[in-house]
Amino acid sequence: MAEEEDDPGFDEELDDGGNGADSGQGKRKRLFSKELRCMMYGFGDDQNPYTESVDILEDLVIEFITEMTHKAMSIGRQGRVQVEDIVFLIRKDPRKFARVKDLLTMNEELKKARKAFDEANYGS
Amino acid sequence: MADPARVKPIAVVSEAPAERPKPGEGSRDAPGSSSKVSELTTVQTTAKEQGKVRSAEDDAAGEEEGSSSLHPPPAKKLKVEHDKKKEKRHKVDEDEIQKMQVLVSSFSEEQLNRYEMYRRAAFPKAAIKRLIQSITGSSVSQNVVIAMSGIAKVFAGEIVEEALDVCEKWGDTPPLQPKHMREAVRRLKSREQIPNTKHKKILFH
């Protein structure tokens, strides 16, 4: 079938039922199984997504993070990953760019709020 | 008064831990997902309100200086225009927040569950940090972990949405099957939304 020629790594993974001891990508333990299940439900899938689909998605996410990390290491300060590099890499994708900006802004606001709260608490 | 047990150092930002005293806090113990969802939207509101207060103070300072002369100099004009744009942006944010609240209040039970999962689900920061550090070999800052987990979640969402499109187009029903996921990946790859640095494109050969 055409879809199986897409990426041999996935298929070895599936044949082994996710326990792959001798397939390239299956060696790693499943890192995000629980969180990905909730995420898939949130994004529109069934309440109980198939384990194989969750595995495929986990491999894709790990590959995505790996690619982004490698790219970020090669631009800006070499060998280090910095936020500016990530923002630069994501600049063409409006959704991801907006999300990163929102997250970083929210983080700053929360930090300020916590600091103000702690100082108020310290006084009383 | 925030409950110290709920304060976590740089907690999952998408979960929006409640810091400021808010009306929903009293009903924290009440069962039902509506209180949890209102929590998520109220913290967003308080954060935006804080921003609005700050910009209102800036506006007041600008107006005071402008009223002293008949023709404000060009620099002053630009500043006033910029403040007006900030105000407009905050009004747009407020509208959007109100619309979201109206929408969420009209959700069914199942929709509320799904929306709650959508907002709450996130990748564990520790695992992402470990993954990135195993690739770089050096430590990374917390902001990097926050940015990367956020982008990874958007990425997962794009794949799931595309796979749901494929599933619907092929006349199947959820849950999604691996063939839908693979077709979704193939489509996204053709749109270059999936980064791939493994294949070197030779221009002339």
Going by C-beta distance under 8 Å and a sequence separation of 6 or more, which residues neighbour residue B103?
A: none
Q: Which residue has the higher pLDDT, A89 or B169?
A: B169
Which residues on B lie below 8 Å from A36 (Cβ)? 156
Q: At what angle do helices A51-74 and A33-43 cross, to 10 degrees?
A: 100
Q: Which of A75, A100, A32 is nearest to B130 (CA)?
A: A32
Do A46 and A59 meet the contact criterion of CB atoms below 8 Å apart? no
pLDDT at B71: 65
In this predicted model, what pLDDT tens digit does every residue of B116-156 receive, in sequence order?
A: 999 999 999 999 999 999 999 999 999 999 999 999 999 99
Question: Which segments of A1-124 does DSSP mark as H helices, in order?
Answer: 8-15, 33-43, 51-74, 83-89, 94-123
Average pLDDT, chain B: 74
Burial of residue B73, with CB atoms counted within 10 A of its CB: 0-12 exposed, 13-18 middle, 19 or more buried? exposed
Amino acid at the residue B129 = K
User: Average pLDDT, stretch B165-187?
Assistant: 94
In this predicted model, what pLDDT tens digit does every residue of A2-49 receive, in sequence order?
A: 444 444 444 444 444 444 444 455 567 899 999 999 999 999 999 999
Question: Which whole-number Å values give the CA distances from A70 to A29, A100, B53, B85, B151, in the listed order?
Answer: 22, 19, 41, 39, 15
Which residues on A lie below 8 Å from B20 (Cβ)? 113, 117
Whether the model pTM is above 0.80: no
CA dihedral A108, A110, A116, A120 (to 10 degrees): -170
Q: Which of A43, A83, A110 sits opposite B147 (nearest CB)?
A: A83
Q: Which of A49, A99, A117 sits opposite B151 (nearest CB)?
A: A99
Do A69 and B124 meet the contact criterion of CB atoms below 8 Å apart? no
Is the pLDDT at B25 greater than 70? The verdict is no
**Beta carbons of B143 and A35 less than 8 Å apart:** no
A45-54, B54-63, B153-162, B192-201: range with lowest mean pLDDT: B54-63
Do A72 and A81 meet the contact criterion of CB atoms below 8 Å apart? yes
pLDDT at A9: 47
Q: Which of B39, B63, B52 is nearest to B87 (CA)?
A: B52
- For B143-199, the three-class secondary structure string (H helix, E strand, C coil) is HHHHHHHHHHHHHHHHHHHHHHHHHHHCCCCCCCCHHHHHHHHHHHHHCCCCCCCCC
In this predicted model, what pLDDT tens digit does every residue of A89-99 receive, in sequence order?
A: 889 999 999 99
In this predicted model, what pLDDT tens digit does every residue of A64-83 receive, in sequence order?
A: 999 999 999 999 888 888 99
Do A51 and A17 meet the contact criterion of CB atoms below 8 Å apart? no
Q: Is the complex ipTM higher than 0.95?
A: no
Is the pLDDT at B22 greater than 80? The verdict is no
User: Which residues of A, range 58-117, sit inside 8 Å of B by Cβ?
Assistant: 60-62, 64-71, 73, 79-83, 86-87, 90, 93, 95-96, 99-100, 103-104, 106-107, 109-111, 113-114, 117
pLDDT at B160: 96
For residue B11, name the pLDDT band (cuts at 50, 70, 90). Answer: very low
In this predicted model, what pLDDT tens digit does every residue of B90-101 receive, in sequence order?
A: 777 889 999 999
Average pLDDT, chain A: 81
Do B60 and B39 meet the contact criterion of CB atoms below 8 Å apart? no
For the record, the structure tokens of B76 come out as 């002053």
pLDDT at A124: 61
**Beta carbons of B155 and A40 less than 8 Å apart:** no
**In this complex, is the C-beta atom of A54 within 8 Å of any C-beta atom belonging to chain B?**
no
Q: Which residue has the higher pLDDT, B55 or B84?
A: B84
* Chains A & B: contacts with CB separation below 8 Å: 193
pLDDT at B8: 42
Chain A: residue nearest B4 by CA?
Answer: A118
In this predicted model, what pLDDT tens digit does every residue of B58-88 receive, in sequence order?
A: 444 444 444 455 566 777 878 887 787 777 7
